[in-house]
Amino acid sequence: MSASSKGQNRVVVYPDWCKGCGICVAFCPKHVLAPGPDGKAVVVDEDACVNCGFCEPHCPDFAIVVAPRNGNGVNGRPNGKSPATDATHGKEDCP
Amino acid sequence: MSQVRKKRREAFLLGNEAVVEGALAAGCTFYAGYPITPSTEIMETMARRLPQLPDGVFLQMEDEIASMGAVIGASLAGRKAMTATSGPGFSLMQEQIGYAAMTETPLVLVDVMRGGASTGLPTSPGQGDVQQARWGSHGDHPILVLSAADVPECLEMTVTAFNFAEKYRTPVVLLLDEITAHTREKVSLPEPGDFEVFSRPVPTMPPEWYKPYEETLRGVPPMPPLGTGYRFHVTGLSHDLLGFPTSRPEEVAALVERQFRKIDRFFHDVQLVEHVMTEDAEALVIAYGCVARSARLAVRQAREAGVRAGLLVLKTLFPFPRSHVEKLLRSCRLAVVPELNVGQISREVKRVNEGYAAVRTINRVDGQIIAPAQILKEIA
Amino acid sequence: MAEVTQLIHQYLRHNKKFPLVFCPGCGHGIVLGSLVRSVHALGLSKDEVVVVAGIGCSGRIAAYVDFNTVHATHGRALTIATGIKMANPGLTVIAVMGDGDAFSIGGNHLIHAARRNIGVTALVLNNFIYGMTGGQCSSTTPEGAYSHTSPMGQLEAAFDIVELTRAAGASGVARGTVFHVKALDGLIAAALSQPGFNLVEALTPCFTQYGRGNGFKSAVDMFKWLKDKAVPLEAYEKLEDKAGRIPIGVFVKRDAPGLETRYAAMRQRLLEKRGGAA
Ligand SMILES: Cc1ncc(C[n+]2csc(CCOP(=O)(O)OP(=O)(O)O)c2C)c(N)n1
Ligand code: SF4
Ligand code: SF4
Ligand code: SF4
Ligand SMILES: [Mg+2]
């Protein structure tokens, strides 16, 4: 919750649910998120996240999860920093 | 063990009061309504009686739409619930009748018919709501419409209305008229066990396996009270077996088809009629409500005058008891349909007649009753 | 806050269609999240919660949450909710409605639910417009605002929901916004725990049908507007220039029993009287 958690958080956007409304991007105080090529939010600077608590409850589509890297993981995904593919979603599906 | 036969309790009741006795005998514990002549005594009697029950609830709502809403809510919560009204209020209730039919929520609605359209004749009898009771709410949906011709029947038919509502998970409209509702007659008060009382089927499988609109043997899916672990979705939108909105043609068709079938398959159970000297009748009277009383007398007088007259009293108006009527039409030369409207049940009779008998109508819309003499004139 | 979204996922019906049916940036989803968190915070079980929703985009919420859910007819959610609460006072009954639903077609039911102080929480998603039917004015559309049925600007005044519900007799009246969502969580939880009729008005942007026609550039723009214009009640009262500012917070908080409680007490008195006579 505090600035001290900087660099200790995992930020995951579910592209399937994200509608690219831009709310998280516009209001994230640490510019962790940015619009991706398709307008959907992508995580561009996960290490900057301070888990301020803004984006999760403000995402109208429940498409963002922020969790401590040393916590219980995010919906079954392993702990730790997000793999790079999270920030380049969609691309990996392309042949 | 000595078997002392207890004397039956009897009372002089208004038709409206008999409705309340019937409702309570059927297990009704919830009433919500809005006052309107000539149905108000039902509401006022409920206001005194229901709070005396350990779980009885009586509510006066802000209008008839709200009354139906509260009744639907109570029924979803597992109660046997009812409301009563008259023409203007019945019109307001149509929206929620459709919702109850679509969601298959059991409830009983008593409409005490008065004369005329709009505010019409508040204190005079009429039978002008018959087709509205069948088709008043938009869209195709099944509904049961019953009637009663005298005070003891008001009691019995209210019990029947509740039983049908629960058995078939459907709104049931009981049509009375001002005369029947305001006549005072002796009735024997129901004792426990007098009537077979039916309650809606409830699911008995583990909640995760429950499909709220699943096909069953009778076509009537079980219905748990809200809050008992079976969390499901109720909606007036066309829905799938799980109760969630769908517009897939095959799912929509299956829903409507089952909703009709659950009643169509049981015509023998829901189509109630009373035969009065119909076996050898040549001249048949088909009547319901207060008109059936006049018809009964007219038919007796006709018999005394040597005419082979008979009477078919319709206790179920919809689904129209076609097979009963058709059978008699085939063997009669004449059918007379007296009604306090411009011809709402006679339309049905003519529809099923197919040229068997001559159909004559007697229609009265001036707020006055049809006297036996008027009927006698047509059959004699 | 770490498990906000994952918590909500636990309360959603997994066989429903996702993403939500709402437009991008529609505030309705945020209110849905707020509702779930409030229920969770109070430790209520899914089985004891009944959501009765009206018709409108807001009404779509009902199908998504794994509670007992009833999707009523337009404007009538409170009537069904009243029947449910009176039939089974043990249930926590929440009526989720749009502004058109609650204040226009259902306005009569609203004032009477408040007057009888029935133990139901009314959660009104006020987006100042009929969203579902494509952008017609509602009884909360501000004077002068554009809608497809006020193409020259709304001539009629908007309801003051707070004053209306207060005057009608509700136990609680509160207003929040989806931008101030943590406060909204608190308002809903407080409403759910207070006896009697409690109304929470949640201001929620509808860019598609309201914002676009009224000078907003995007959904985000509308969130910025809420952020700038909404002020906590205490601060609002001290403002010199109140024009265009919207007070948020708790406006009415009365300790009054719900109708269902008063009804049960009456039944009990009758029972004792009969017992005494025998
Ligand atoms: C009796 C009736 N009249 C009209 C409609 C059409 N209708 C559906 S939703 C709606 C308005 C919804 O507006 P609101 O309640 O503000 O909800 P929103 O979509 O904005 O969330 C209307 C008029 C209806 N379904 N039923
Ligand atoms: S708030 Fe949610 S839906 Fe909107 S852009 Fe961000 S992740 Fe996507
Ligand atoms: S919690 Fe969300 S809004 Fe807050 S810093 Fe992290 S990414 Fe940004
Ligand atoms: S029309 Fe408005 S209220 Fe409806 S989903 Fe879209 S943004 Fe939301
Ligand atoms: Mg709206």
Domain ranges of chain B: 10-188, 273-379
For position B319, what pLDDT does the model report? 98
User: In angstroms, what CA-CA distances link B287 with B108, B172, B302, C111?
Assistant: 23, 20, 16, 45
Question: In the predicted model, is pLDDT for residue C33 greater than 80?
Answer: yes
A24 lines ligand 2 (CB under 6 A): yes
A61 lines ligand 2 (CB under 6 A): yes
Kindly report, residue by residue over B230-273, the tens digit of the pLDDT: 999 999 999 999 999 999 999 999 999 999 999 999 999 999 99
For position C72, what pLDDT does the model report? 98
Kindly report, residue by residue over A3-55, the tens digit of the pLDDT: 468 999 999 999 999 999 999 999 999 999 999 999 999 999 999 999 999 99
Q: How close B150 gets to chain C, by Cα (Å)?
A: 31
Question: In the predicted model, is pLDDT for residue C159 greater than 80?
Answer: yes
More confident residue, C130 or A92: C130
Kindly report, residue by residue over B10-48, the tens digit of the pLDDT: 999 999 999 999 999 999 999 999 999 999 999 999 999
C21, C23, C148: which to mutate for ligand 4, most atoms within 8 A of CB? Answer: C23
For position A88, what pLDDT does the model report? 42
Question: In the predicted model, is pLDDT for residue C1 greater than 70?
Answer: no
Kindly report, residue by residue over B304-331, the tens digit of the pLDDT: 999 999 999 999 999 999 999 999 999 9
Fold of B273-379: Rossmann fold (3.40.50)
Residue C222: which pLDDT band, with cuts at 50, 70 and 90?
Answer: very high
User: Nearest residue CA, atom 1 of ligand 4?
Assistant: C131
Cross-chain Cβ contact A75/C37 below 8 Å: no
- Return the ∠ at Cα C227 (arms to C224 and C230), rounded to 5°: 135
**Counting atoms of ligand 2 from 1, which one is nearest the CA of A23?**
1
Return d(Cα C120, Cα C113) in angstroms, integer: 8
Question: In the predicted model, is pLDDT for residue C278 greater than 50?
Answer: no
Q: Is A18 on the interface with C (CB under 8 A)?
A: yes
Residue B349: which pLDDT band, with cuts at 50, 70 and 90?
Answer: very high
Residues at CB less than 6 angstroms from ligand 3: A 11, 28-30, 32-33, 49-52, 54-55, 66
Closest CA to A70 of A59, A78, A58, A61: A78
Q: How many CB pairs lie under 8 A apart between chains B and C?
A: 138
For position B367, what pLDDT does the model report? 97
Cross-chain Cβ contact B30/C274 below 8 Å: no
C246 lines ligand 4 (CB under 6 A): no
| 3-state SS, residue A26 | helix
Q: What is the CATH number of the domain that holds A44?
A: 3.30.70.20
Question: In the predicted model, is pLDDT for residue A87 greater than 70?
Answer: no
Structural domains of chain C ordered from first start: 2-277 (3.40.50.970)
For position A89, what pLDDT does the model report? 41
In a domain, residue A90? The reply is no
Q: Is C220 on the interface with A (CB under 8 A)?
A: yes
Sign of CA dihedral B253, B254, B260, B266: positive
Domain count along chain A:
1
**Counting atoms of ligand 2 from 1, which one is nearest the CA of A25?**
6
Return d(Cα C1, Cα C7) in angstroms, integer: 10
For position C17, what pLDDT does the model report? 83
CATH label, B10-188, candidates 3.90.1640.10, 3.40.50.970, 3.40.190.290, 3.30.420.40: 3.40.50.970
**Which residues from C are below 8 Å from A71, CB to CB?**
2
For position B236, what pLDDT does the model report? 98
Closest CA to C67 of C192, C183, C165, C179: C192
For position B7, what pLDDT does the model report? 78
- B10-188 and B273-379 have identical folds: yes
Kindly report, residue by residue over B263-316, the tens digit of the pLDDT: 999 999 999 999 999 999 999 999 999 999 999 999 999 999 999 999 999 999
User: The domain containing residue A41 runs over which residues?
Assistant: 3-69
Cross-chain Cβ contact B226/C68 below 8 Å: yes
**Average pLDDT rounded to a whole number, residues C42-59:** 98
Q: Is C13 on the interface with A (CB under 8 A)?
A: no
In a domain, residue A78? The reply is no
Cross-chain Cβ contact A23/C220 below 8 Å: yes
User: In angstroms, what CA-CA distances link C127 with C31, C54, C97, C178?
Assistant: 12, 15, 11, 11
DSSP B221-276: ---PPTTSS---EEESS-B-TTS-B---HHHHHHHHHHHHHHHHTTHHHH--EEEE
**Which residues from C are below 8 Å from B96, CB to CB?**
73, 76
C28 lines ligand 4 (CB under 6 A): yes
Beta bridge pairs of residue C50: C68, C93
In this prediction, what percent of chain C has a pLDDT beyond 70?
Answer: 98
Kindly report, residue by residue over C85-100, the tens digit of the pLDDT: 999 999 999 999 999 9
pTM: 0.96
Q: What are phi and psi of B303, to 5 degrees?
A: -60, -45
Q: How many residues does chain A have?
A: 95
Nearest ligand to the CA atom of A45: 3
**Which residues from C are below 8 Å from A22, CB to CB?**
25, 218-220
Which of B68, B76, B213 would best serve as a mutation to test chain C binding (most C beta carbons within 10 A)? B76
Cross-chain Cβ contact C271/B237 below 8 Å: no
Cα A56 to middle of ligand 2, angstroms: 9
C206 lines ligand 4 (CB under 6 A): yes
Chains near B (3 or more Cβ pairs under 8 Å): C
For position B160, what pLDDT does the model report? 98
Largest distance between two CA atoms of chain C: 74
For position C66, what pLDDT does the model report? 97
Residue A75: which pLDDT band, with cuts at 50, 70 and 90?
Answer: low
In a domain, residue A16? The reply is yes
| 3-state SS, residue B357 | coil
